[in-house]
Structure 1
Amino acid sequence: MTLAYWIVAALLAVFYFYAGGKKVVQSREQLQPMMGWVDRVPMPLVRTIGVLEVLGAAGLVLPPLTGIAPWLAVAAAVGFVLIQVGGIAVHLSRGETRQIGLNVVLLVTAAVAIWLATTWV
């Protein structure tokens, strides 16, 4: 189970570090082609989501790696589930039902990380 957690956590961490980093440093115009929803969301909220994604990526990896507060990995994965629930809601409110596939995959992957993280407690 530990190896499975590290695989899932690493995949999520890489994705969220990249996606969150883009939200933190890029302008609305640069984000628009990949993330059409940024046109209706204030940029401070986009930046906040990006910061939370980067911190969550670190939270999936660093606490279990160091052994300091490993429960933070579970909290980070729960946070990612909540981010994806919000993402699905935004896409559905915009009538983008075909856009939720990635959100569903990330939500399920984060839920698997929660399950795997709680099995080694």
Structure 2
Amino acid sequence: MNVVLWIIASLLAAAFLAAGLMKSTQPKEQLAARGMGWTEDFSPGAVKTIGVLEVLAAIGLVLPAVLDIAPVFVPLAALGLVLTMIGAAVVHARRKEYQGIVVNAVILILAALVVWGRFGPYSFTS
């Protein structure tokens, strides 16, 4: 199960690193044109902030455990992604973008699995 948690955390980190870099470096109009219509509901600063938080979460999912420096940040980063996906699902529900909610739910479940595993039976401190 430890290997599965590493794989899930790594995949989540790769996905959120890419998504976060995109949101933090591209104008919101360009993001909206690429299918991220939800950006129309947020200020450019808020979109960039979301992107930076996603990059930080991606780093927090892997780097603390790899370096063995404060590995408790791994489940905390995953918990942050759980909360982010709840917020994203709410935004998609308000916009009636139901397909987005399915994606949010899958990511939420994967992140919650990392939270459970790394705070619980497969923590780095046990």
State the distance in 2 between where 1:83 and 1:90 align. Answer: 11
Question: Aligned runs of 1:1-121 on 2, under 5 Å?
Answer: 1-32=1-32, 33-118=34-119, 119-121=121-123
Q: CA RMSD in A?
A: 1.0
Does the aligned pair in 2 maintain the 1:4–1:116 contact within 8 Å? Answer: no
Relative contact order, CA 8 A, sep 6+: which one is greater?
Answer: 1
Alignment size in residue pairs: 121
Runs of 4+ residues over 6 Å off in structure 1: none
In the alignment, structure 2 segments of 5+ residues that lack a partner are none
Deviation, structure 1 residue 66: 1.2
Render the CA deviation track for 1:12-70: whole Å, top value 9, x for unaligned: 00000000000000111210122110011111111111001000000000111111111
Percent identical among aligned pairs is 43
- Taking structure 2 as the reference length, what is the TM-score of the superposition? 0.91
- Taking structure 1 as the reference length, what is the TM-score of the superposition? 0.95
In the alignment, structure 1 segments of 5+ residues that lack a partner are none
State the distance in 2 between where 1:26 and 1:4 align. Answer: 33
